Structure 1
Amino acid sequence: MLNTLFVTTQGAYLSKKGDTVLVNIDREVKLRVPIHTLSQITCFGQISMSPFLMGLCGEKGVSVSFLTENGRFLARVNGPVSGNVLLRKAQFEFQQKNGKTSKLAGKFVTAKIANYRAVLQRALRDNPENKSDELNKASKYMKSSAFVALESESLDIIRGIEGEAARTYFSVFDHLILCQKEDFKFTSRSKRPPLDKINAMLSFAYTLLVNDVRSALESVGLDPAVGFLHSLRPGRPSLALDIMEELRPIFGDRLILSLINRKQITSSGFKKTESGAVEMNEETRKLLINAYQKRKQDEIIHPFTKEKIKFGLLPHLQAMLLARFLRAEMEDYPPYFWK
């Protein structure tokens, strides 16, 4: 499985030597990585890169993303567009058909809600003493909402169901915090800016995930900007956000809950800015990135293909299945349901 090189040390300079990426800090080479082992390079904050390395990345199909130090996306650099033009044509044509678009959008939302429920069910099963009525009610609501989303033919209704399911899920999210409850309180989802420690971590984890999903879509020849659930908007990777909906609860939410409940992250790793935003320090960001990368090495059995794969390949497998569906090689798109 090809890796992502995350660069978080401020002032780092990336250059090339032959087919090797060099990470220089204070004019000293701290890391050497062969280009063929990478699928993308993600730079946080004040990181610079030589034009020769950018050229090599473009030539080898390694995408380069630049984000702020706290994970807000800035820009992405890619080489020449690759992929089957006929696949993209099929994708564009499918997007214009309202009935088919809503059916596919319903699949994404159904899987997201089902995976929300799986997170709640896992919490109830792993901690029998946590017999919260709110958790049980939320779990039942997710079950009924998932069926409604799957059967709905209206894109507006599907989006409304997704929004209400997310509000219900995050209204009980604080019940999933079992340790350090005084330090990690959660009341509601806040994005720009994140207003508490948990929201800061969730937003950061979702940024890592959407970059992985976008790269996976590009690798199979799909256009990440042309989605079916999320509306089209300049600069928005709508299809990457669509696929990410299925994976948010298990890639992001479960990871954050685990780090807090196992006390691997503490409240000392955060600061509050004058604007009220909560930010992670460099050590906490690195810890979260390492945990995210480690999670990607776990093995799972995919419920549709029945194959054993590394968790990090899940975005690639879902992208491949979507491409096969759009090419009419499959009758339906199978979203990912976590168990």
Structure 2
Amino acid sequence: MSILYLDEYGATLRASGGRLLIEKDGETLVTARPQEVELVIVLANCGFTSAAAQILLNQGIDVAFVDTHGEYLGRLEGAMGKNVLLRRRQYALADDPEFCLALARALVQGKVANMRTIVMRYAREGVTNLHAPIAEMAAVLDGLDVCPSQESLRGMEGTATAAYFGAMARIVQPPFSFSGRNRRPPQDPVNAMLGFSYALLLSYVERAVSAVGLDAYCGYYHQDTYGV
């Protein structure tokens, strides 16, 4: 399965003869069978025809829109699943503080453990001065089981994430450099790559959540905020 990128100014995705074509100024740049495509990335100033949209929706091909800085804007989505009972259960659990805290704690534990594992791998490969961030993430992991609230959990996650990106500043090697996370717009190639990767990941997660009939905007960790 492949990803189609509409990233040239003025490019258009069309459908012809059961195939998807990316065209610009009358020239065909890319052709693909819908069965071979899993995702279409559309950057600003590109578009697609209604015939192409019908094929994408019928084949369940995800379409993610990102801006020129790689920030996620949204996605083309088909009809919502009809399992209303499943969403009712989802909403009911979102009002259960104990369930929300337990699930959020498990998510943060997984995230911090993975970040620590990545940094430890680079330490074994010879990158120096990583002991402090590894120890800081370990301390966060030790304290998560007794974390009393979502607010304190977010603080602990922030501490671990800051330690992780601090370690990344030592891990990233020339010709690239990384002094910390920044966005909107990203100030360096590493942050640009991170932002674009997060946009792709968010599109995949939204698709997976929607595919099983759940509401992607009903959260258990970062909970309901109007307009966000």
Q: TM-score, normalised by structure 1?
A: 0.62
Alpha-carbon contact 1:13-1:23 (below 8 Å) kept: yes
1:187-336 to 2 correspondences below 5 Å: 187-233=179-225, 236=228
CA displacement at 1:211 relative to structure 2: 1.3
RMSD between aligned residues:
2.0
User: Quick one: which amino acid aligns to residue 108 of structure 2?
Assistant: V
CA displacement at 1:78 relative to structure 2: 1.3
CA displacement at 1:95 relative to structure 2: 1.0
Q: TM-score, normalised by structure 2?
A: 0.90
Residue 163 of structure 2 is matched in structure 1 by 168
Which sits farther off after the overlay, 186-195 or 117-126? 186-195
Distance in 2 between residues matched to 1:65 and 1:198, nearest whole Å: 21
Distance in 2 between residues matched to 1:78 and 1:189, nearest whole Å: 30
Alpha-carbon contact 2:69-2:185 (below 8 Å) kept: no
1:25-174 to 2 correspondences below 5 Å: 25-82=24-81, 84-127=83-126, 130-132=127-129, 135-174=130-169
CA displacement at 1:85 relative to structure 2: 2.5
Aligned residues: 228
User: Quick one: which amino acid aligns to residue 107 of structure 2?
Assistant: F
CA displacement at 1:35 relative to structure 2: 2.0
Distance in 2 between residues matched to 1:34 and 1:86, nearest whole Å: 36
Secondary structure of residue in 2 paired with 1:101: helix
Secondary structure of residue in 1 paired with 2:200: helix
Alpha-carbon contact 2:70-2:192 (below 8 Å) kept: no
Deviations 1:102-160 (A, max 9, x none): 11011111111111101110001122xx332xx11211221121232244241111111
Pair 84,147 (structure 1): closer, same or farther in 2 beyond 3 Å:
farther
Greater RCO between the two (CA within 8 Å, min separation 6)?
2
Pair 10,76 (structure 1): closer, same or farther in 2 beyond 3 Å:
same
Contiguous gaps of at least 5 residues in structure 1: 237-339
Alpha-carbon contact 1:170-1:188 (below 8 Å) kept: yes
Alpha-carbon contact 1:8-1:69 (below 8 Å) kept: no
Alpha-carbon contact 1:194-1:200 (below 8 Å) kept: yes
Distance in 2 between residues matched to 1:109 and 1:54, nearest whole Å: 37
CA displacement at 1:234 relative to structure 2: 5.5
Pair 88,143 (structure 1): closer, same or farther in 2 beyond 3 Å:
same
Alpha-carbon contact 1:218-1:224 (below 8 Å) kept: yes
Secondary structure of residue in 1 paired with 2:208: helix
Pair 150,41 (structure 1): closer, same or farther in 2 beyond 3 Å:
farther
User: Quick one: which amino acid aligns to residue 128 of structure 2?
Assistant: K
Secondary structure of residue in 2 paired with 1:190: coil
Deviations 1:217-244 (A, max 9, x none): 22222222112122334565xxxxxxxx
Contiguous gaps of at least 5 residues in structure 2: none
User: Quick one: which amino acid aligns to residue 190 of structure 2?
Assistant: I
